[in-house]
Structure 1
Amino acid sequence: MILVKNILKKYGNKKVVNDVSVNIEKGKITSFIGPNGAGKSTLLSMITRLMQKDFGEVYIEGKEISTWDKKELSKKIAILKQSNNLNMRLTIRELVSFGRFPYCEGRLTEEDEKFVDDAIEYMNLVDIQEKYLDELSGGQRQRAFIAMVIAQGTDYIFLDEPLNNLDMKNASSMMKVLRNLCDDLGKTIILVMHDINFTACYSDYIVALKDGKIAKQGTVDEIINEDTLREIYEMDFNVQEIDGNKISIYY
C-alpha cells in the first residue's frame, strides 16, 4: 500500500498541490483525473520522488519515501512520464533491457534476459523487437516503453497520461494491457488520465483533483456521475451505462 499524507507543493505563493491525502491500495488501478492545472502530474511526481515535496509524507509499504535507497526504490516502483524522448537510437529490445538496470547495472544475466523476453512477449513485440524506436508507430513505441516498465519487475507502476498521442484503437489496447497487468500479475497501477470514459471503464478507484486539492475520491460509481463531473470540470455531462460500463458525454 502507498499512503500519502497531507503533501504540498508550491511555487512562490501558488500551491499547485495543497494538503492532499490518499491511500493507494495494492493490486488495483487508481486514476488521477481533473482539469488542466489541477495538480495531477505534480502529485504523481512527488509520490514517486521525481519531485521534492514541500510538506507531507509518502509511505510505500510503511516506509517513508525519502528514506528509501534509490536502487531499492527502483525495484519497488516504476515510472513512465509523458515525454519519452531519447537521444540514443535504440531497438525495442535494447530499450526494454533498460528496465533491468536496477538489478544488473547494464550487465544482463540469464535471469534478466528472461524478464526482457517475457515483457516483450507480453506486449506482443516479439516479431519487431529488433526494430529501432524511430521506425515505430506511436502505438508500437508506447507498447515498447510499457514493456520496459514491465521488465523492471516492480510492484507499483506509475504512468503519466499513458494514452497521450494514441488513437482510440491503440488507447483501448493499452488500457486492456494495464487492466491485465493488474488482474493477471497483481501489479498496482497509478495513472494520470484525461479520458473520462477510459478511466470509468478500467479504474478501480478514482482521485479527482481541482485547483491542487482533492475534490472527491472514490469508486467509479461515486465519481462518474453528472453532479460530480460538473463540479470538477465546470461543464455539463450526460452519463449513461452501457454493458455495465459508465460512459460520459460532455456538452
Structure 2
Amino acid sequence: MAIDISHLHKRYDNKTVVDDVSLTIPKGQITSFIGPNGAGKSTVLSMISRLLPMDGGKVLLDGDDISGLKSRDIARRLAILKQSNHVDLRLSVEDLVAFGRFPYSQGVLTAEDKRFIDEAIDYMDLGDLRQRYLNQLSGGQRQRAFIAMVLAQDTDYVLLDEPLNNLDMKHSAQIMRVLQKLCHDKNKTIVIVIHDINFASVYSDHIFAMQDGRLVFSGSPTDLMHSERLESIFGFHMPVEQVGEHRLGLYFIA
C-alpha cells in the first residue's frame, strides 16, 4: 500500500496554492518534493497529514480516506515534522522524544513507551545528550533530537518539511544518511520537502517536482537531473555533471 493523492486542491483567499495534484507516494522508499519557493510542496505535506484542511480532493493512507480517520489513529500511522519546530520550553532531549509517544500514552508513559524512547535516542546517537536541554544543543544535534521524537512515534510514514534547514554541510549529510538508513533498516516510508537538488538526487528513490501549485515532474533522480528539465522547473540554466553513480546540479556556477 502507499499514500494516494487524488485531485488535491488548496486556496488562500483568491490564490490557488495547490492545483489539482494527483500522485502516489511509494512505500518503503525516500520520496522528495522539490521546486521553487511557494510551489506548494509544504502545503501538500500538511494536507497529507491533515494539519491543513483541503479544499478539494482526497488522500488515502493505505487505502483509508484520512478525512474519516481519527487524529489519534493518523498519528499512529503517520508522523510529520514541520520546519517551524522551534520550542521555547525548557525541555531535555529525553522529554522531547517522549512527546512522540503521546498518541499511545496520552502523557502516561508505559514500559513499552520508554523502550521506544530509548531506541529512538540510541538510533540517533543521542545517548550522551539525553539529559541536555534543547537550547544547549548545536543545530545538528537539535535536528537529530526532533527526528528521534518522530522515530519514537513508530509510524510507517515519516514526513519531514525542510529537515536540513539551518544545518551546515556536515550535519545535512549526516541527517540524510540517517534517513536513508531508517528507510533501509526499518522499512520506513520517508517523504521530504527539500531545497537542495543534489541531496534529493543522491538520497531519493523517487522525486516529485512542483511549480506554481502544480505537479510538473514525477520520476527517478536520473530522469530528473538534466539541465533542460531543471531549467523548466527552476527557471534558470543549471549544468549537470556525473559524479560517480550520481548526477549533480552545479547551480552555484549557473
Say whether the fold is shared (TM-score over 0.5): yes
The corresponding residue for 2:147 is: 146
Q: Counterparts of 1:41-80 in structure 2 under 5 Å?
A: 41-80=42-81
**CA apart distance, 1:102:** 0.6
**Shift, 1:225, TM fit:** 1.3
Q: Secondary structure at the match of 1:176?
A: helix
User: 1-side partners of 2:14 and 2:133: how far apart?
Assistant: 45
TM superposition shift of 1:241: 1.4
Identify the residue that residue 215 of structure 2 maps to in structure 1. 214
**Given the alignment of the two structures, is residue 14 of structure 1 paired with residue 39 of structure 2, yes or no?**
no
Q: Name the residue aligned to 2:183.
A: 182
Please report how far the alpha carbon of residue 13 of structure 1 lies from its aligned counterpart in structure 2 after TM superposition.
2.3
Say which is worse superposed, 20-29 or 237-246, in terms of deviation.
Answer: 237-246
Shift of 1:158: 0.4
The 5 Å alignment of 1:81-92 reads 81-92=82-93
| C-alpha distance in 2 between matches for 1:60 and 1:66 | 10
1:161: how far off? Answer: 0.2
**Counterpart in the other structure of 1:123:** 124
TM norm structure 1: 0.99
After TM superposition, give the deviation of residue 243 of structure 1 in Å: 1.5
Cα offset, 1:87, TM superposition: 2.9
Q: Give the aligned residue type for 2:159.
A: F
Note the C-alpha offset of 1:88. Answer: 1.5
Q: Which runs of 5+ in 2 are unaligned?
A: none
SS of aligned partner of 1:106: coil
Aligned-pair CA distance for 1:151: 0.5
Letter in 2 for 1:99: G
Report how far residue 93 of structure 1 moved: 0.4
* Percent of matched pairs sharing the same residue: 51
Q: Which residue of 1 aligns with 2:115?
A: 114
Output the amino acid matched with 1:159.
L
Aligned residue for 1:237, secondary structure, equals coil
The equivalent residue for 2:161 is: 160
- Show CA shifts across 1:82-133 (max 9, x none): 0112231100001001101111111111111110000000000001110000
TM norm structure 2: 0.98
Which shifted more, 125-134 or 237-246?
237-246
CA drift at 1:70: 1.0
* Larger deviation, residues 48-57 vs 84-93: 84-93
In structure 2, what is the equivalent of residue 36 of structure 1? Answer: 37
**Aligned AA (1:78):** A
Distance 1:145 1:198 in 2: 20
My pick for the range that moved more, 124-133 or 239-248, is: 239-248
CA RMSD of aligned residues (A): 0.7
Distance 1:19 1:68 in 2: 23
Alpha-carbon distance between aligned partners in 1 of 2:144 and 2:13, rounded to the nearest angstrom: 38
Q: How far apart, in 2, do the equivalents of 1:169 and 1:85 lie? A: 21
Mapped to 2, the partners of 1:58 and 1:181 lie a distance apart of 24
Q: Structure 1 unaligned segments of length 5 or more: list them.
A: none
Q: Are residues 1:99 and 2:96 paired?
A: no
Partner SS for 1:53? coil
